[in-house]
Structure formats: C-alpha cells, structure tokens
Structure 1
Amino acid sequence: MTDHILIERRDGLNIIRLNRPDKKNALTQEMYGAMNAALEEGEASEEIRVHVMLGVEGIFTSGNDISDFMKMASGGDLSGSEVQRFLHNMAGLKKPFVTGADGIAVGIGTTIHFHADLTFATPRTVFHTPFTDLALVPEAGSSLLVPLLAGHQRAYAMLAAGLPFPAREAKEAGLIYKVVEEGALDSETLAAAMALAKKPPQAMAIAKELLRRTEREAISARIDDEVRLFAERLQSAEAMAAFQAFMARRK
C-alpha cells in the first residue's frame, strides 16, 4: 500500500489520511487503489464503526494528479478505473463517513465531502471545483448532490462558474457541517467520529439508509454519467488546450 495513504484503525475508526504534501496531496491511481482497499475492508470489518478521511496541515487535496489526467486523456476510458470504484465506494458506504479539511480542497478534494455525513473544515479552507476551467465537467455525483444541498444558483456558482467557496460560505450553503479552528481540526473530527462509533451500529446504518434512500440509486447513476462525460471531455480539443495552458503556467 502506498505511503501516500496512511491507514490507522483504532477505537472503531477507519482513519484514512492523504499524505503526499510535497505534491499538495494530488491523487494518483495508486492512492485511489489504497483508499478503495481501506474503505472496502472497513465496511467488511465488524470492528470498524466509522470511516474518517483527513489530509495534512494546510492541505486536504489539490485534486487529481495532473500527469494521471494526461494518461487518462490518452486512454479515454474511465469505466472500471480506481477512480470510478472510489466514487461508488463513497456513495455506497453504509457506515458513517466523517471528513476533515484544512486549506486546499480542489476538485475531488471538494466533492469527496458531499458524500460525508459530517464534514469539519478550518476557516482557511477553500472549496474549489474549477472543472470547466479545464474544459471538464462535474464529477463524484456533485451535479446531483450540490443542487439538492445548496440550490441551483450556488450549485451553478460552484460547479459551472467554478467560483471558490470559503469554509464559512460552504457551511452557510449546507455543504459542510462545522467550521473549527486550525489546531482543532483533527481532534474535533476524530471526537465526532468516536461519538458516532459508540452508537448502536445497526440503528446508525438504518438511519443513514433512510436519509439517503431516495437518492442512492440516482447518485450511482449520476456518477456513471459524469464518468462517461468526463472521459469524453478529457479527449476533447478544448481540454487538451486547457491542460497544455495549465502545464505551461506551471513551468
């Protein structure tokens, strides 16, 4: 398992920490594979009650690794990929899912939290989904979830206009649960997860199923639609030009 994903299991918690700070926690296929294994093992384990996902100080994740994007663009098919598997794993979790974000939260670094049951963030955290700036489209079921959570205009501002949402605005929009001070993020996130882990697990699973029942199948179908369109866009001339411009700016 890659050192860029750290797994800790204790007190009924399945703690998944993104740990690639030198690359702003940019996600590779290997990292997705490690997260998939952790989520699937956690769901299957009777000892695990709650999944937790965290980043490092100042960085949740900057999104997908750009070199992986370029490889996927040449391949053109994301179906059956570790990315698609990860999205369905998140959407299908029966156990509680708690996330904590500090600082950078770009692309899937934002959309992960729409599948969480509780998300904590620091005041310096900015949620940003610049999909259309790269000639891409929303992913992770966000095109369905964000309008449900925040309404059309905020969803359009975030997913189509690509406007950044500071943590306090995200909380006001109903996209995250709570804003906490930077030094307290891990402790607050883990304390909330531990409180959930002490509750009757079957009742918790039923409660989550009831809350998500009407949208669960729709989320799964939307994820697949977005993956197909995302793959098509990756191969478009528009996206190629956007990626080339992005890479030139980084040099």
Structure 2
Amino acid sequence: MQDNHILVEGPEDTSGILIIRFNRPEKKNAITQAMYRRMVKTLNFANEDDSVRVVVFLGTEGCFSAGNDMADFLNYGMAQTSEPPAGFEFIKALADVKKPMVSGVDGLAIGIGTTLNLHCDMTIASSRTQFKTPFVDLALVPEAASSLLAPRVMGHQRAFALLAAGEGFSAKQALEAGLIWKMTEPENVEAESLEIARKLASKPPRALRIARDLLRGSPVEKLQRMDEEFAHFSAQLKSAEARAAFEAFMRR
C-alpha cells in the first residue's frame, strides 16, 4: 500500500485533533486490507495518546469511501482462511475508541463508508452524499454492529431499507433518519467538520468522556454483535451464492 492511501494528520500541539483521511480517489477511496491495518494502528494510538482529543474521518472531494476494495476482498474470500480480515479488526477498534469521533462525508458513502458513521458522535454530510449498503446484493450480511445500531437510530423500517433492501439514502433522508447530524454544501463539509472537532477538543476532556460513555453505553454489546455478524458474514463470503454475486459484480 502506498502510505498516502490513508493520510493521518495531527494532533497539532494545541488543537488535539487527529484526522484520518481516505486518499485513494482513483479507486473511489475503496479500502484495502493494508488501509484497514493503518487505521487500526492509528485508532489505537488515539486511545493511548492524551494529546488526542478528537478523531475526525474525512474523504476526498466527491467521495468519502466506496467501501471495501472488491478485488482485494474477493482474494480474501477465495483464500478460505480462518483469519479474520483486517476490516474486522478495524470495526472492533471503532467500537472501542475512547475519544469523540466526527466524520465529514461528501459524495459516495458505500458499505463501511456508511456504517462507519453509526460509530461517530457527529457527522456532517454534503447535500450530494449518497449512503448505501449493498450487503445482501452481494450475498453478504450487515457488519460493524450496524444490525444493532441502525434500528436504534432510525427504527426497523428505515434500517431494513438501508441494510437489507439495499436502498440508497440521500443526505436529506439520512438527516431525517438520524444517521447524520447536519447537511451542508460540499465545499463546507471539511471546514464544518473540523470546526465541530475544535469545539469538542476545547471542552474539559474528562467530563466529555464521561458524557460520551453515558450516551453510548458499554462497547461490549456492540462487540458481541460484531462477532455474531462476522460469523454469518464469513460463512456467506465462502458460499456459492456470494461467489456468483461477486463474479457478477466484477463483470460489470
């Protein structure tokens, strides 16, 4: 992996903001196993370093992330390994981040590019953002504890539409569903996301952490659901129907 596929910026001496930026625009910021490993390492650093007050996820212009790199992911599935993919380690790390997380989403937000935001505390999305999780279309199942978190946030009907039916959500629909906090114009996404992060970073850190923990609850339930999802996900990934779905996708 080129080091610049995931850019890590900060924390600055005074801001306390750590930015994780998807930076593979030529592939619509599709995430490889190597990119996941880089982000896991960064999130672990954020947990351990007191200078980090807030973690911010950003993409590139017109694209947050198209989700998993399909060729990379298909290679993992065909390998028939019992080792969990690096993406699974990433979503577990997401559930256990100790600092507030903010995301700024512009354009495509597919798969983990959508479900990642369920773990963020505040999300800004541009008016042209499209959220979509085509898990079932690929003969797979929801991940990142989205099957637990999405119904709580948006109710069963909307969660089913997003995670099972594979319906796309516009930024306006995502705002109405509670998936994001605010919608703005594309050129303002990054500035507004960083402004939120600066405000959070300026607050008393212990009080903010307690408040966040009270709101979010223990990560144990989320981690248990991730394990349950992964058992189904892994079995489906090795299934004949998933192989057929992936091959059809790659022929497009």
TM-score range, shorter chain: over 0.9
Counterpart of 1:229 in 2: which secondary structure?
helix
The runs of at least 4 aligned residues of structure 1 exceeding 6 Å deviation read none
Q: CA deviation at 1:78?
A: 6.4
Counterpart of 1:151 in 2: which secondary structure?
helix
Match of 2:180 among 176, 183, 194: 176
**Matched positions, count:** 248
Which range moves more in the overlay, 116-125 or 85-94? 85-94
AA at the equivalent of 2:59? G
AA at the equivalent of 1:42? A
Match of 1:202 among 206, 214, 228: 206
Q: Are 2:34 and 1:30 equivalent residues in the alignment?
A: yes
Partner deviation per Cα, 1:66-98 (whole Å, 9 max, x = no partner): 112111212345654321111111111111000
Taking only aligned residues, the RMSD between alpha carbons, in angstroms, comes to 1.2
Q: Which residue of 2 aligns with 1:139?
A: 143
Q: Which residue of 1 aligns with 2:8?
A: 7
AA at the equivalent of 1:169? Q
Match of 1:65 among 52, 63, 69: 69
Q: Which residue of 1 aligns with 2:247?
A: 244
Q: Are 2:133 and 1:129 equivalent residues in the alignment?
A: yes
Counterpart of 2:208 in 1: which secondary structure?
helix
Q: 1:42 to 1:152 in 2, by over 3 A?
A: same
Match of 2:232 among 213, 217, 229: 229
Q: Are 2:122 and 1:154 equivalent residues in the alignment?
A: no
Partner deviation per Cα, 1:27-68 (whole Å, 9 max, x = no partner): 001100111111111111111100000000000000000112
AA at the equivalent of 2:120? A
AA at the equivalent of 1:3? N
TM-score by length of 2: 0.96
Question: Quick check: 1:100–1:189 contact (8 Å CA) kept in 2?
Answer: yes
Structure 2 unaligned regions, length at least 5: none
In 1: Cα distance, 2:230 partner to 2:59 partner: 25
Question: Quick check: 1:78–1:228 contact (8 Å CA) kept in 2?
Answer: no
Q: Which residue of 1 aligns with 2:124?
A: 120
Q: CA deviation at 1:2?
A: 2.1
Q: Are 2:63 and 1:52 equivalent residues in the alignment?
A: no
In 2: Cα distance, 1:225 partner to 1:66 partner: 23
In 1: Cα distance, 2:41 partner to 2:74 partner: 25
In 2: Cα distance, 1:173 partner to 1:7 partner: 30
Partner deviation per Cα, 1:216-237 (whole Å, 9 max, x = no partner): 2211101111112111111111
Which range moves more in the overlay, 177-186 or 66-75? 66-75
Q: CA deviation at 1:125?
A: 0.2
TM-score by length of 1: 0.96
In 2: Cα distance, 1:50 partner to 1:77 partner: 35
AA at the equivalent of 2:148? L
Counterpart of 2:152 in 1: which secondary structure?
helix
In 2: Cα distance, 1:228 partner to 1:238 partner: 16
